[in-house]
Chains A and B, each alone.
Chain A
Amino acid sequence: MHLQRYKIVFGGTIGAGKSAAIRTLSDISVISTEAVNTDRNLSMKHLTTVGIDYGEIKLDDEITIGLYGTPGQDRFDFMWEIVCKGALGIIILIDHSRPQRLQDLEFYLKAFQGYSNNIVIGITHLDVKDDQMLKIYRDWCALKNLNYPLFMVDARQKDDVLLMTEALIATAEINSLCLDV
Chain B
Amino acid sequence: MNMMNIEQAFKLPDALKHQARSVLTELIHQVNGVQFIMLCSTDGFEIEVVSKKHLENSGKIAAVSSSILAMVSAFVSEINLVGCNNITLNAENGKVILSAVPNADYPMVLVVSTASDILLGQMNYYMKKAIEDLVKLSN
Contacts and interface: CB of A to CB of B under 8 A. Distances in A.
Question: Are A and B interaction partners?
Answer: yes
Interface of A: 31-41, 44, 48, 50-52, 71, 73, 75-76, 78-79
17 contacts: A33-B70, A33-B71, A33-B73, A33-B74, A35-B70, A36-B10, A36-B42, A38-B11, A39-B45, A40-B8, A41-B7, A48-B43, A50-B44, A51-B71, A51-B74, A75-B63, A78-B60
B67 interface: yes
B16 interface: no
A39 B10 CA distance: 8
Nearest to A40: B7
B6 A52 contact: no
A151 to B, nearest CB: 29
Interface in B37-93: 41-45, 59-60, 62-64, 66-68, 70-71, 73-74, 78
B42 A35 contact: yes
A106 to B, nearest CB: 22
Contacts of B68: 51
B74 A50 contact: no
Q: Give the interface centre of A38, A39, A75, A76 by most chain B CB atoms within 10 Å.
A: A38
Nearest to A38: B10
A35 B66 contact: yes
A37 B11 CA distance: 9
The interface size bin for chain B is: 20 to 34
Interface of B: 6-11, 41-45, 59-60, 62-64, 66-68, 70-71, 73-74, 78, 107
Question: From DSSP, what is the main secondary structure of chain B's interface residues?
Answer: helix
Contact of A50 (B8, B9, B10, B67): B67
Contacts of B64: 78
B10 A37 contact: yes
Contacts of A79: 67
Given A40-B6, A40-B7, A31 B44 contact: no
* Pairs of residues from A and B, 9 with the lowest C-beta to C-beta distance, nearest first: A35-B42, A33-B70, A51-B71, A40-B7, A51-B70, A75-B63, A38-B10, A35-B43, A51-B67
A73 B44 CA distance: 10
A76 B67 CA distance: 8
A31 B77 CA distance: 9
A35 B107 contact: yes
A33 B43 contact: no
Contacts of A34: 70
A75 B43 CA distance: 10
A39 to B, nearest CB: 7
Nearest to B59: A75
B43 A38 contact: yes
A33 B71 CA distance: 6
A20 B50 CA distance: 38
Contacts of B62: 75
Given A32-B74, A52-B71, A78-B63, A38 B41 contact: yes
